[in-house]
Structure 1
Amino acid sequence: MGSTNLWDAEWDLPLEMASALIYSQFPQLSSKRIRRLDHGWDNTVYLVGNEYVFRFPRRQVAVSLLEMEGRILPKLADRISIPYSKPVFHGVGNQEYPSPFLGYTYLPGKFPIGLTDEHRCLSISALARFLKGLHAFPVQDAEENGAPHDHRNLTDIASRKEKMLTFLSDLRGHIREEDYRQIEAYLQSLTIDRVEPKEVFLHGDLHFKNMLVDESGQIAGIIDWGDMNIGHPACDLSVAYNFVPPGGREAFFKEYGEVDEETHILARLIAVYIPMLILLQAVTDHNAEIAEEAKANIRRALVDE
């Protein structure tokens, strides 16, 4: 892998700097402890007390996305059925850290890592209803509040297939040979180059690191909305392949609504693509737990009903 990755940060934000920004702009939080939670491609995340999460962009490209979150997320409250982090603090940058940042209500829960198929099936109906409601959000309203149109060109299967073959080569030393062969065979079996565009409002980055479950393993929250956009529903419906067990997909689409064959093809492709990227980052970060879950997501996505 090259030395420059998609997830490399442009701005490093240590705990001391994050604390200074939060405490100076929101003095009502000054008695609360701040600790670093995690980082994704676009944001560094800090927990303030046990009540709020603050997200700070790590890259310039994430700034407009964060600002869009501040405008659109409050509008979703009456439309979706799964809890999500609502922005309540709007911070501004300074000379040391030039970006705006947001503070959200904290959602308790943990990533859905290592769940059994039985646990996953508990969330099928809730996930399907959530996406049905989200995808019904008015496209015009999303446009007016800054949501981009398919900025990642997700409908171009041929181009994505090329990228994934490169990813697969990079991962060869980090996955089992049988997994390598299965992924390679799947990609080579794709004969469609592009699917017809569709336009719905999307979360845009729905995977296991942006989902929370409670102690019983049921879905309890959806986080990290920075990739909201208008595009093909298959982008979000990928969870029907990499989260939902194969035997539960029929029930998922019965609740969500039937979709055409192209949507199924693209949903499965994204269901493999996103965990491959997560796996690449996990290898870089030496995060064995995330790496194993990403591999499990890929295997699940490639299993037919």
Structure 2
Amino acid sequence: MVTPEVRGSDQEIIAALARRHGLEPVGEIEWNDLGLDFRAAFMSDAEGTDWVLRIPRRPDVWPRAENEARVLALLKGRLPVEVPDWRVVAPDLIAYPRLAGTTAVTVDPATKEPTWNIDKDNPAFVESFARTLAALHGIDPAEAGAAGLKVSSPEQARRAFADDLDRVKRELGIGETLWQRWRTWLDDDASWPPFTTLVHGDLHVGHVLVDETSQATGVLDWTEAEVSDPAIDFIFHLMGFGESGLARLLDEYEAAGGRTWPGIRHHVNERLAAFPIKYALFALISGQDEHLAAIKGQLGVDGESTSPAT
């Protein structure tokens, strides 16, 4: 079941949904409608507990939510930061007590303009984030498999990208320049890691909670977690902090016990450049015209590519 569209002050829908699952909202319910897969709402109850409510946009979201529940059970108490403690897990609603802190970046729902809530030069953020990544990537892939998560070998992770690339070219098209770049990267043995790790899968700063000192305190939205290419978890840091920021993160990551390989920096760059493939797959799965139209330019189909990395 997917809940109806909720707009403006029309809060009775989500309030009724919360009550059906044993939660009693007190006061106003706040909305964040930016997520591609979930709408998010924030409420308080009579005991003063603040809650996060996630409402799926489409039926295809539920299997990934089930995966996230398995991930959170595996991670509980194993990272130097908090992760959500899901108390309601149902096809129409996921709810958990709100974690302390604020996301490292917030986006204005109306203007879509980002606001940084950290000092990007503060070593506290990169050091704490690196420790979190090293701890996450250090979890035994066999444990992840036993917990029911998808586990890919290095060869399987590479082949999965090749399959995704072929599908997108077949169903949407890819401009020749990007096609050649991505095929060259795919065939470059020195770039790809000889191992896989448990990854978050969508680790941008909007999913990282921080305190007032810019220290990372929590990580949200584990829907896409699996055992795969560790570079996946570095691409958004490169996007937000640049080459020097990536180099600093990798230094701290290695100091915290994270495993790297000689081609990692090049590989992260190419992973970021290939991000349109992930968006294209989302557009195909959702079938929504706005996303199908938006991705064409990023794939170099309608003129020059607007890929996030060059």
TM-score by length of 2: 0.66
Amino acid corresponding to residue 20 of structure 1 in structure 2: A
Which residue is equivalent to 2:149?
147
C-alpha separation in 1, matches of 2:251 and 2:149:
29
Which residue is equivalent to 1:109?
102
The count of aligned residue pairs is 264
Q: Is the 1:136–1:200 contact (alpha carbons within 8 Å) kept by the matching residues of 2?
A: yes
C-alpha separation in 1, matches of 2:84 and 2:230:
22
SS in 2 for 1:261: coil
Q: Is the 1:155–1:266 contact (alpha carbons within 8 Å) kept by the matching residues of 2?
A: no
Which residue is equivalent to 1:90?
88
Which residue is equivalent to 1:198?
195
Q: Is the 2:103–2:207 contact (alpha carbons within 8 Å) kept by the matching residues of 1?
A: no
**Aligned pairs (5 A) from 1:167-246:** 190=185, 192=187, 195=192, 198-215=195-212, 217-246=214-243
Q: Is the 2:80–2:132 contact (alpha carbons within 8 Å) kept by the matching residues of 1?
A: yes
Q: Does 1:265 align with 2:266?
A: yes
| Change in 2 beyond 3 A, CA 1:187/1:298 | same
Query: Which residue of the other structure, out of 20, 29, 49, is the alignment partner of 2:16?
Result: 20
Which residue is equivalent to 2:299?
none
C-alpha separation in 2, matches of 1:101 and 1:265:
40
Amino acid corresponding to residue 234 of structure 1 in structure 2: A
Amino acid corresponding to residue 44 of structure 1 in structure 2: R
Percent sequence identity is: 20
Which residue is equivalent to 1:178?
none
| Change in 2 beyond 3 A, CA 1:21/1:275 | same
Q: Is the 1:205–1:227 contact (alpha carbons within 8 Å) kept by the matching residues of 2?
A: yes
| Change in 2 beyond 3 A, CA 1:31/1:191 | closer
C-alpha separation in 1, matches of 2:242 and 2:260:
18
Gaps of 5+ in 2: 106-113, 284-289, 292-306
C-alpha separation in 2, matches of 1:188 and 1:121:
37
- 1:250 Cα offset (Å): 3.6
- 1:54 Cα offset (Å): 1.4
Superposed CA deviations along residues 31-56 of structure 1, whole A, max 9, x for unmatched, are 35323223422222111227111112
- 1:274 Cα offset (Å): 4.1
Which residue is equivalent to 1:66?
65
C-alpha separation in 1, matches of 2:224 and 2:103:
21
Query: Which residue of the other structure, out of 248, 254, 277, is the alignment partner of 1:251?
Result: 248
Which has the higher mean CA deviation after the structures are superposed, 258-267 or 199-208? 258-267
| Change in 2 beyond 3 A, CA 1:211/1:188 | same
TM-score by length of 1: 0.67
C-alpha separation in 1, matches of 2:55 and 2:152:
24
Amino acid corresponding to residue 18 of structure 1 in structure 2: I
- 1:233 Cα offset (Å): 1.0
Amino acid corresponding to residue 22 of structure 1 in structure 2: A
**Aligned pairs (5 A) from 1:71-82:** 71-82=70-81
C-alpha separation in 2, matches of 1:129 and 1:212:
14
Q: Is the 2:42–2:53 contact (alpha carbons within 8 Å) kept by the matching residues of 1?
A: yes
SS in 1 for 2:79: coil
Q: CA RMSD in A?
A: 4.3
| Change in 2 beyond 3 A, CA 1:144/1:13 | farther
Amino acid corresponding to residue 219 of structure 1 in structure 2: A
Which residue is equivalent to 1:138?
140
C-alpha separation in 2, matches of 1:278 and 1:12:
25
Q: Is the 1:276–1:298 contact (alpha carbons within 8 Å) kept by the matching residues of 2?
A: no
- 1:134 Cα offset (Å): 0.7
| Change in 2 beyond 3 A, CA 1:37/1:262 | same
Q: Is the 2:26–2:43 contact (alpha carbons within 8 Å) kept by the matching residues of 1?
A: no
Q: Does 1:47 align with 2:42?
A: yes
Gaps of 5+ in 1: 1-9, 93-98, 170-180, 286-296
| Change in 2 beyond 3 A, CA 1:204/1:33 | same
Superposed CA deviations along residues 111-155 of structure 1, whole A, max 9, x for unmatched, are 42454874365411111110110112232332233212359x752
- 1:167 Cα offset (Å): 9.3
